[in-house]
Structure 1
Amino acid sequence: MENRQPGVSHLLMTIFLYNFSIFMVIPAITDVTMSALCPGEDECSIAIYLTGIQQAIMGLGTLVIMPLIGNLSDTYGRKAMLTLPMSLTIIPLAILAYSRTKEYFYAYYVVKTLTAMVCEGTVYCLALAYIADNIPENRRASVFGILSGITSCAFVCGNLSTRFLSTPSTFQVSALVALIATIYMRVFLPESITDDDDCVYTKEEAKLSLLDEDEDSKNNFKIFKTMPSFDDTVSLLRSSLTFSQAAIVAFFLNLADVGLSASLMYYLKACFHFNKDQFADLMVIAGISGIISQMVLMPMLAPAIGEERLLSIGLFFSCAQMFLYSIAWSSWVPYAAAMCSLLAVFATPCLRSIASKQVGPNEQGKAQGCISGLCSFANVVSPMVFSPLTALFLSASAPFNFPGLSIACAGFTLMISFVQSMMIKATPPNFKASNCNCEEP
């Protein structure tokens, strides 16, 4: 176990750099979109619809790609599969780093949509599987929380940097940091699936297994042998009641989160005239709250009250946060709502930890890919519901005055996850104990 700890440390550094580059452009992208499509306006329905269409297409892509990459990582290694999404992330950032005119924005939009079909959520999914390879079960929830805490640190640092950079510099720095993250990962991150690892298939064993299973089709591409089928997903969901409950929670949680992220910035810009700097301030508050929660509170609370209860607490405060956003009556209310992240951020790491404990050590990529695939399906459904609702109630033709209605609906959607989470019971994993050498130091 000792020789694996540096690998986890390098993974956390990789995740920090990668997320730093991603998060620093979030406060600026709304202003760039509005300037390109609706210059001088605070409300732009076409921007909302284009964002929704982009999220739906990305969701369709990741619905297929995410489980595939998760399965492939079980065979070919986490590091090998991390290279693809981290490299593709650089391209759309470089486009806006060069120019943000209408023509370049549309080029960014198309390239971002295509690359995000591979990149969106993939790095986080593979990072979870990497940690599951290297950390014993009794410490996994805490380390998942640390991973989320590192993500929150990157979130804060990225948004702080945006606060003090011009818009062109923001995209230029972001593209550079994304490149550095990819190089760092390739140079320093050790592969988690090694030849002497008894807990998982080695690469050579996996390749031999594939050949044995299909001796009559030697000319077929191996990638198609690894592609998960619908029956595989159904079988995994049926393998454990706890895993299937976690999958339901994940679907509705992501459905609500995508609805919130698609609506919130346009809502705040239309109602309170927020700009890049105010978006950054809001995200810094949420990020700092997340750091305190995941790095300090979660490692103490997870062993004491259990991941299942901590999941419910996180979902409850996520609901409260969304409802508070939806009824904001003054520009300071969103800042107060952002502080709910102190407890709301418990949900995702607890959910992933619960799911990881329900499968064997050689199925971590498959399990995380399955959960991420369901989240991707939510990415397809959510824009179809929330984007038209947001555009309608932010426009002058709204049937009644409730500009935050779409966010309130996202809150009600999240309540389904909360109710389901209350039914999850702490159960031992349903696979046979492995004779692995992964012992806690």
Structure 2
Amino acid sequence: MLDERFVRRGLFLVFIILFLDIIGIAIIVPVLPTYLEELTGANVSEAAIDGGWLLLVYAAMQFLFAPLIGNLSDRFGRRPILLASVLTFALDNLICALATSYWMLFIGRVLAGISGASFGTASAYIADISHDGNRAKNFGLIGIAFGSGFALGPVLGGLLGELGPRVPFYGAAALSFLNFVLGVFLLPETLDRAHRRRFEWKRANPLGALKQMRNYPGIGWVGLVFFLFWLAHSVYPAVWSFVSSYRYGWSEGQIGLSLGVFGIGGALVMAFILPHVVPKLGEWRTAVLGLTFTTLGAIGYATAWQGWMVYAVIIATALESLADPPLRSIAAAHVPPSAQGELQGALTSIGSITTIIGPLIFTQAFGYFTGPSASVTFAGAPYALASCFLVGAILVFFLKVPKNRAVGPQEEVTIEPDEIPAIEKAARGELTRMPGN
């Protein structure tokens, strides 16, 4: 059993890392339309498409490199990979702040995508120090970090954006560097040597990682649900600011405020509702509930033709935040501790595929239905399309993911000679930190 103080410290610090990372991402969202228009001289519809290409290259790099990062964390531990990711994210934002051309932004996005930010490794970190009884609740910390980060980040970005569209990028770089310093001095390692495995190149690529997941029964259907869910969710970073600017005439500050309210709603649900719902309904039913409200939310945003309606939808469908933690917990329960990094790398690759496809689909839909040649003007078209993907996710989950999941076979771990003393201590009960127990 893990030492409770160690668990609390690890959860707190990984939450802080995720929280600061999310602020660093969300802080630039309100100024992105203005920044791209200024940098490229394009109108808002064309700038939305330019933003879609930036998201695509970021996602493409994550798809290619996330399995590598996940496998490296299974071999060398979570801490060094997290620190490297956070530092690279700081460099990315600094490059974007100093960019003098649209193509310089691509350099920053490539670096950010290769680093994988910190989300996949942070998920593996949480899995290391969780068990069946608290895994969904602990994964809820990711949602709380996202919600609170997106609550504060856009508001801060909107305020900084009043000083100039580049200022939020400098702020994001500073936050990421602060994140790195905190990690260097305070972040503990959660994957001890006894649970690490040999690095294998054949598994450290997208196809190899996804193929490896086939060894764990039922996880393929969970992966498909994640694919459809994340594909639909990519509509928000892709077009939220563009739809808000075009449809409601919102300023950077108003866009930031709307995202802030959205984030607060999600954080409150994760902090106060999720811990009570999962024990009563179970992970499976909680996931169905969250997916249902996510679908209703997408439909609501599609039909919200006035700005105040956006806030009504946010409040009415806040329970959509219940979907992600139980889905992650169900996936994590299928694999042993030595493969949690690989699992999160595979899931990140799946998510990256959706953020390659999603921004192209949703920004093109927005551009088509708001452009001068549109036969029907409908700024909510991207959200309507997203709701169709979510209906598919509900159907797959309901029909193919069993309520009583079967945990996959335990993977054989290659043991290095210098790891034997640690294993012997574990057998005698002398280690107090045994991730996964």
Do they superpose with TM above 0.5? Answer: yes
Task: Report Cα offsets for 1:143-165 as digits up to 9, x if no partner.
Answer: 11123212322222223323433
Please report the RMSD computed on the Cα atoms of aligned residues, expressed in angstroms: 2.5
Query: Structure 1: how far apart are the matches of 2:141 and 2:206?
Result: 33
Query: Structure 2: how far apart are the matches of 1:97 and 1:31?
Result: 14
Identity %, equivalent residues: 22
Query: Structure 1: how far apart are the matches of 2:37 and 2:323?
Result: 32
Aligned partner of 2:418 in structure 1 is none
Residues 378 and 169 of structure 1: CA distance in aligned 2, closer, same or farther (over 3 Å):
closer
The answer as to whether partners of 1:95 and 1:107 remain within 8 angstroms in 2 is no
Aligned partner of 2:423 in structure 1 is none
Question: Does residue 1:382 correspond to 2:377, yes or no?
Answer: no
Q: Structure 2 matches for 1:292-303, cutoff 5 A? A: 292-303=268-279
Query: Structure 1: how far apart are the matches of 2:251 and 2:111?
Result: 27
Aligned partner of 1:332 in structure 2 is 308
Query: Structure 1: how far apart are the matches of 2:158 and 2:358?
Result: 30
Aligned partner of 1:283 in structure 2 is 259
Q: Structure 2 matches for 1:109-124, cutoff 5 A? A: 109-120=105-116, 122-124=117-119
Shift of 1:340: 4.4
Query: Structure 1: how far apart are the matches of 2:436 and 2:343?
Result: 23
Query: Structure 2: how far apart are the matches of 1:58 and 1:237?
Result: 26
Q: Structure 2 matches for 1:12-411, cutoff 5 A? A: 12-38=15-41, 41=43, 43-45=44-46, 47-98=47-98, 104-106=100-102, 108-120=104-116, 122-165=117-160, 166-167=163-164, 168-195=166-193, 198=194, 200-201=195-196, 206=197, 210=198, 224=201, 227-228=204-205, 230-237=207-214, 239-241=216-218, 243-340=219-316, 342-411=318-387
Residues 79 and 290 of structure 1: CA distance in aligned 2, closer, same or farther (over 3 Å):
same
Q: Which moved more, 1:161-170 or 1:357-366?
A: 161-170
Aligned partner of 2:10 in structure 1 is 7
Q: Which moved more, 1:136-145 or 1:326-335?
A: 326-335
User: What are the ranges of 5 or more consecutive residues in structure 2 without an aligned counterpart?
Assistant: 413-425, 428-432
Residues 369 and 404 of structure 1: CA distance in aligned 2, closer, same or farther (over 3 Å):
same
Query: TM-score scaled to structure 2, two decimals?
Result: 0.87
Shift of 1:169: 4.0
Shift of 1:385: 2.5
Aligned partner of 2:408 in structure 1 is 430
The answer as to whether partners of 1:264 and 1:407 remain within 8 angstroms in 2 is no
Aligned partner of 1:217 in structure 2 is none
Shift of 1:341: 5.2
Matched residue type, 2:150: F
Q: Which moved more, 1:288-297 or 1:110-119?
A: 110-119
Q: Which moved more, 1:222-231 or 1:247-256?
A: 222-231
Residues 135 and 160 of structure 1: CA distance in aligned 2, closer, same or farther (over 3 Å):
same
Query: Structure 1: how far apart are the matches of 2:234 and 2:354?
Result: 8
Q: Which moved more, 1:52-61 or 1:366-375?
A: 52-61
SS of the aligned residue for 1:135 comes to: coil
Query: TM-score scaled to structure 1, two decimals?
Result: 0.86
Shift of 1:268: 1.8
SS of the aligned residue for 2:133 comes to: helix
Task: Report Cα offsets for 1:69-125 as digits up to 9, x if no partner.
Answer: 111110111111112221111123224545xxxx625254222321232244x4111
The answer as to whether partners of 1:260 and 1:322 remain within 8 angstroms in 2 is no
SS of the aligned residue for 1:137 comes to: coil
Matched residue type, 1:111: I
Task: Report Cα offsets for 1:232-268 as digits up to 9, x if no partner.
Answer: 5224135211x11210111111111123431222122
Residues 82 and 432 of structure 1: CA distance in aligned 2, closer, same or farther (over 3 Å):
closer
The answer as to whether partners of 1:289 and 1:341 remain within 8 angstroms in 2 is no
SS of the aligned residue for 1:89 comes to: helix
Residues 340 and 182 of structure 1: CA distance in aligned 2, closer, same or farther (over 3 Å):
farther
Matched residue type, 2:304: A
Query: Structure 2: how far apart are the matches of 1:173 and 1:380?
Result: 26
Moved over 4 A (4+): 432-441
The answer as to whether partners of 2:40 and 2:102 remain within 8 angstroms in 1 is no
User: What are the ranges of 5 or more consecutive residues in structure 1 without an aligned counterpart?
Assistant: 211-221
Query: Structure 2: how far apart are the matches of 1:91 and 1:346?
Result: 33
